[in-house]
Each structure stands twice: as structure tokens, then as C-alpha cells.
Structure 1
Amino acid sequence: MPQKPDPLWARWGAELALLRSRAGMTQTDLGRRALLSKSAISSFELGTRTPKVHHAEKLDNALSTDGTLVRLWRNLHKQRQVPDWFLDALMLERSSREIRQYQSILVPGLLQTPDYARTLIRLREPQATDEHVAQLVKGRIGRLPEITPRKPLLWFVVDEIVIKRVVGTPKTMAEQARHIASLVDDGTIRFQVLRETGLHPGICAPFRIMTLHESKAVLCQEKAIGDEVVDDPVKVNKIATLFGAMQAEALSVGESLALLREQQKEFEQ
């Protein structure tokens, strides 16, 4: 009887299959280079066999992927740091060349500080243990360092309320504003603010557009419990056009940075 795939490791297997395909290798080719059997490669890609870290190391070496599979293995191995419903979006995030995000309510997860993230998680899961909350915080704040070495384009547009709403304490918000400003200053992200006055195209639910390669982009629409991933090109292009309209209506990056620093000073007083 065929073994049932493990949903978690099937995600790792899908990344392995993608990297192997990009390298122009068959499963047999990769097996020879990594000193593994073709059946082992096949079962890893299907998610029917759980890889060990030394398998990931061998495959990274064979594919010259600079530790990609090891990093993914470690992150999936510690999946308890990430809610199950977020794993698909997380996989896409790590593979994206561009991430464009609109947020109308809260600071985007990629940009959150530990105190800001801890406050939100504790509010959402009031009965969670301190250990569980700490694990979730670690998983959230570890996402940005995980993707920045690849230097993807990270562009955020937020409603003004995002930088004004007090989540936690004024000290928490001052640190959060300082953190975002530093990411703008060092060129890690581009950040724009839509002013509160009047109507603008951003009166809608939060979303992310993640470009995987030249001809493939997906849309992640935020919901109460998890993101819905949409890969219909017509729908993705429609939201990409909407994001462009938001960029046009928002303050420039420089103006947004100045507003962010003003808000930081207010929180510090």
C-alpha cells in the first residue's frame, strides 16, 4: 500500500523538486551527485519520506543551492513556531523575488518587532503558554532575516492608522517606528503611507502579491484565520494594478519616512 505523503515534508519535497528542475537534473542525476538512490529522491519530493538534516546538506551541495534546503528543513522542523495555516504562505514568501504588501490595520508581520508581535499574539491567544507565545514570536521576527540575503524587492503600503494605533505601549510603538525607519534607511524595504484624509484605493482587505519569477506571481489575501492563496493571473494582475494605484496615492518613501519619525517622537514623549 502506497505511503501517504506528510503535508509538512511534501512542502520541502516540492522545493527540492523545483531546485532540481531548475538545475536541469533528473532524479537519477541528483541521486548520483548526492550519493542517494533515485527512489530516495522521489520519496523526498513526494513527501512520503522524512528527510534528515544530513540529507538536506547533501542535496544542497549537489545542487549548489547555498544551504537553501537546510534552512528550509530547519524551519519546517520547528514548525511549531509557525501556525499550520501559514505554512503555504511562508513557503511562497521564502521563494519570492518581489513582495508587495498592503496593510490597512497592523504593521506587516515581516516588519514587526518582538514586543509588537508578542502583544498581538497574546491578544489572539490569551490562553497560550509563555513558551508557546515565545516560539510564535521567534518564528515571526525570524522571517525577514531569512529572506533578506536574497535581496528581494520588499515594498509596503500601509494606512496611516497602522503607524498611529497603539499596540501595547507607546514605548513598543516608538521601537516599532524606529525599526521600520532603519529598514528604509538601509534600503531593505520601501515603505509608503496612505493618509487618513479622504477616500483612496486602499479601502479593502490586506493582501500580498508575491512574484516567484518573471512569469509567475501569486496573491495572498488575508483572512481571520490564514491567507487564501490565489494564482489566477487575471485576479493577480487586477490586484497588482490596485497596488500601483495605492503607491500613486500614498506619500512618497521620503515623506512617509518623515511622518514615521514624527510619530516615533510623539510616542517617545
Structure 2
Amino acid sequence: MMRTSPSPTLITLGRLVRRYRDAGSILQADLAKRLGYSDGWLSNVETGQLRPRREQVAAIEQALEVPPGVLLEVFNMLEGESLPGWMRDWLAEERRSSALRAFELAVVPGLLQTPDYARTVLDGDEAAVTARLDRQAILKSENPPTLRCVLDETVLTRGFGDAAVMRDQLEHLVNSVSPRLAVQIVPSGVRYEGLAGAFTIATVNGSDVAYIDTAVRGLVTSNPEDIACLIDVWESIRTFTLSQRESIELIKKVAEERWT
């Protein structure tokens, strides 16, 4: 198995955590206990071997009583270090969005993936898993965007991981539904325009920008013609979706009958 090179930014973050901990005369075991993690977990963070989640870095800042943002500013640099430019562009738009409309043909949208499902989709790349889970923080922010997801039924039946992983993922979809978050299903066997590929439309400051999946890379566009085309496709797909209630019933049925 090929080993990836250590992340310079992750090493810097770990050194800062240790420096502030030493400055406060706090033992590693004591800090780990305050955070609710093992000594080994904190040791891996301090040596740059483990990428913590955003909320964990914020908790470390609070436990060490350092000014808010000191460690998070370094943590934010990880995004630029590990992601291609087009993905960084999209994540910036995603964070600023007031509304998201997502269509997926093959997998659960990243914003709604469970850790184990994401881990399987990303082939066990823990740094990528952490980055994906960090994205989900926007759904729990003070002003979260509305999220409207339309999934082809194939998403529910294509296995990533074992039955337990899939069942937990489908249950998570059901439990995520709220007035601000919809998950609707296009039944299998229906032919519609969206079969050309997955996409997400974000509304940012009253304007729309889109992310389109391709076989080579993701494409971020705000071209008016592209946006108009995608909105037409979105509206066309929506005409084939089950209602929210029917979609939840289908998701539960697939979870019980296929993934138990």
C-alpha cells in the first residue's frame, strides 16, 4: 500500500496544540480527559498523524483557553493543501449558500453521508472522510441553508460497506428530514433528463452557482446558460419524484427488506 506524505499543515497544527498545552502546564493525559478522548488520540493529533474534525479543533482551543480561531486558522489551511482548485471553489460557494438543490444518481450526497458510509465511498482515506464530515457543519450552523435532495432509487440499493453501514445510512436520511431539509426519491425504471449526471445548484446572495460531476473532475459554473439548463433539468426531475412521505416510506422499506 502506498503511504501518503505527512501533511506539513497537519504537523504544524499538532505542534501548536502541544506548544499551547505545554505553555499551560497541562499534561497530555489531562487534556485528553477534558476533551473526552484517549491519550493515543491526542498524541496522534500532536504528531500530525491524525486529522481532527473542525469541532474537535474548536474544543481544543476552548480547553487550552487560547483565543478562538488561533488553531482553526491553521486547520482551514488543510482544505487548500488537500483539495483540487475546483473543489475549493465549490466548498466556498457551498458555505455561503442560503439554499442547495442536489440531485444524485449513484451515492448519498456528501452533506448527508454517515462516517462509515463516507469511509467506504472514499476507500478508507481518513483525511478525506474528515474533510467530508467537516462540510456537514453548515447544516448545523446558525443560519443553515435549506437543502433539497433528489435521489435516484438506485442510491438506496447500491451497497457501500456491509448491510449495517447501508441501514444506518438510510436511517440517517430519514432522520435528517425537516422543514429545511427534504429527501425525495425518483423510483427505479423512470426515464428522465437527470440520467446525464449528478449536480448541485447553490443559491448565493440571490444568484445561482452549480457544481456538476463529470468522469474527470467536478465543474463549477455560474454561466447563465448552464444554470438555466440545470434548473430546467431539476424541475423536470422533480416531476418524477415521490412525495416526501412516500419517499420516507420507500427508504424505510429498502432499509428493512434489503439491508437487514
Shared fold, TM over 0.5: yes
Alignment of 1:59-208 (within 5 A): 73=73, 76-79=76-79, 82-85=82-85, 86-122=87-123, 133-149=125-141, 150-184=143-177, 186-208=178-200
> How far off is 1:198 after superposition?
3.1
Contact 1:99/1:211 (CA < 8 Å) preserved in 2?
yes
Instruction: Pick which of 71-80 and 189-198 moved more.
Output: 71-80
Deviation, 1:120, is 1.3
**Aligned residues: CA RMSD:** 2.3
Q: Is the 8 A contact 1:81 1:139 kept in 2?
A: no
Q: 1:121 to 1:159 in 2, by over 3 A?
A: same
The answer to whether 1:224 aligns with 2:219 is no
Separation in 2, partners of 1:106, 1:71: 33
Residue 241 of structure 1 corresponds to which residue in structure 2?
232
- 2:148 aligned partner, one-letter code: W
**Which amino acid in the other structure matches residue 265 of structure 1?**
E
Gaps of 5+ in 2: 1-67
| SS of aligned partner of 1:249 | coil
**Deviation for aligned residue 1:74:** 5.4
Amino acid in the other structure paired with 1:115: D
Percent of residue pairs identical: 27
Q: Deviations over 1:234-255 (max 9, x none)?
A: 2202211210111121101111
Q: Does 1:256 align with 2:247?
A: yes
User: How far 1:161 sits from its partner (Å)?
Assistant: 0.4
> How far apart in 2 are the matches of 1:98 and 1:243?
14
Cα pair distance change 1:174/1:83, threshold 3 Å: same
- Deviation, 1:219, is 1.5
Cα–Cα, structure 1 residues 80 and 91, in superposed 2: closer, same or farther, change >3 Å?
closer
Partner SS state of residue 232, structure 2: helix
* Cα distance in 2 for residues equivalent to 1:72 and 1:157: 33
TM-score by length of 2: 0.67
Q: Distance in 1 between matches of 2:196 and 2:75?
A: 32
One-letter amino acid of the counterpart of residue 264, structure 1:
A
Measured against aligned partners, the alpha-carbon deviations of 1:169-204 in whole angstroms (never above 9, x if no partner) come to 1111000001111101x4451111111123123211
2:235 and 2:71 map into 1 onto residues whose CA distance is 33
Give the Cα separation in 2 of the matches to 1:226 and 1:92: 17
Structure 2 counterpart of 1:15:
none
Query: How far, CA to CA, are the matches of 1:244 and 1:268 in structure 2?
Result: 31
Amino acid at match of 1:196: S
What are the ranges of 5 or more consecutive residues in structure 1 without an aligned counterpart? 1-66, 123-129
Aligned counterparts of 1:251 and 1:170: Cα–Cα separation in 2: 25
Return closer, same or farther for 1:237/1:266 CA change in 2, 3 Å cut-off.
same
> 1:116: how far off?
0.8
Partners of 1:71 and 1:243 in 2: CA distance: 40
Q: 1:198 to 1:224 in 2, by over 3 A?
A: closer
Superposed CA deviations along residues 72-129 of structure 1, whole A, max 9, x for unmatched, are 845532227852242111111101111101111111111111111111111xxxxxxx
The amino acid of 2:118's aligned partner reads: A
Encode CA deviations 1:225-268: one digit per residue, 9 max, x unaligned. Answer: 43211111122022112101111211011111111111111245
Instruction: Name the SS of the counterpart of 2:108 in structure 1.
Output: coil
TM-score of the superposed pair, with normalisation by structure 1:
0.65
In the alignment of these two chains, the number of paired residues is 191
Counterparts of 1:91 and 1:164, CA distance in 2 = 31
Alpha-carbon distance in 2 for matches of 1:254, 1:81: 42
| Alpha-carbon distance in structure 2 between the residues aligned to 1:96 and 1:71 | 25
